[in-house]
Amino acid sequence: MKKIFYIQKYAFWRQTDKENMPNVDFIPALLRRRLTGVEKIGLYLANQLEPFPPATQVVFASRFGEWQQTIDLIRQFFNDHEMSPAGFSHSVHNAMPGVFSLLGKNKESYTSIAAGENTIESGLMDAFCGKLPTLFICAEEETPEFYRPQFSNPFGGHGVAFILSDQPFLNARKISLEITKSSETSLTFEKLCRFLDTEDGLITEHFVLRKEK
């Protein structure tokens, strides 16, 4: 059984040698100074889908979330025996969609998902099964120096975002979803980007996506 969806617009961002963080000058300076890397990436991507959808559910997926902010807070507590309340508010896993809701005056619900290697796939399933339209955002900041020895392939910051709908609209990309079971490895950021940008199909462990005419 196939179900039809529509992708309105999508955006990617990848850290490069020339761009360590995306430009978020559209955010007021007082708030911008407090933003974490994950928040900057996620908000930048949402802003690429202008205008900010004012009444759109948000699904935010991040495997590691605000890990650099958490490291900084733990070090602060160890050194000063206290922890910044403002810093803590930006360390929780739903910090990015929370800031997005405030900036865009979005009163719809949001979900934050972390599911290990299955984070992106789980986030997509939540988006497909939830109330539509939905803004899907996946964002990861650069592997912190503290954790680099634990990773065989430390990664740079990256993210992807798109608006998912069950209703057709002008210039929308029509896709089909079919629930299945396969031996595919975990869905990665690069695989999702290739599907959105160039490839006609995407097979994950639990579903298949195809572009429809």
Would you list the domain boundaries of the chain?
Answer: 2-211
**Is the pLDDT at 54 greater than 80, yes or no?**
no
pTM: 0.91
pLDDT for position 35: 92
Does 41 score more than 90 pLDDT? Answer: yes
Residue 51 confidence (pLDDT) above 70: no
Per-residue pLDDT, 201: 96
Which residues contact residue 66 at a Cβ distance below 8 angstroms, ignoring those fewer than 6 apart?
36, 38, 90, 91, 92, 93, 95
Residue 171's pLDDT is 83
More confident residue, 147 or 175: 175
**85 pLDDT higher than 90:** no
Cβ 141 vs Cβ 89: under 8 Å: no
At 52 the pLDDT is 60
Q: How confident is the model at residue 190 (pLDDT cuts 50, 70, 90)?
A: very high
The pLDDT of residue 106 = 86
Task: Considering the domain delimited by 2-211, tell me its CATH architecture.
Answer: 3-Layer(aba) Sandwich (3.40)
What is the model's pLDDT at position 53?
Answer: 56
CB contact at 8 A, 84 and 73? yes
Please report which confidence band the pLDDT of residue 23 belongs to, taking 50, 70 and 90 as the band edges: very high
Work out the percent of the chain whose per-residue pLDDT is above 90. Answer: 62
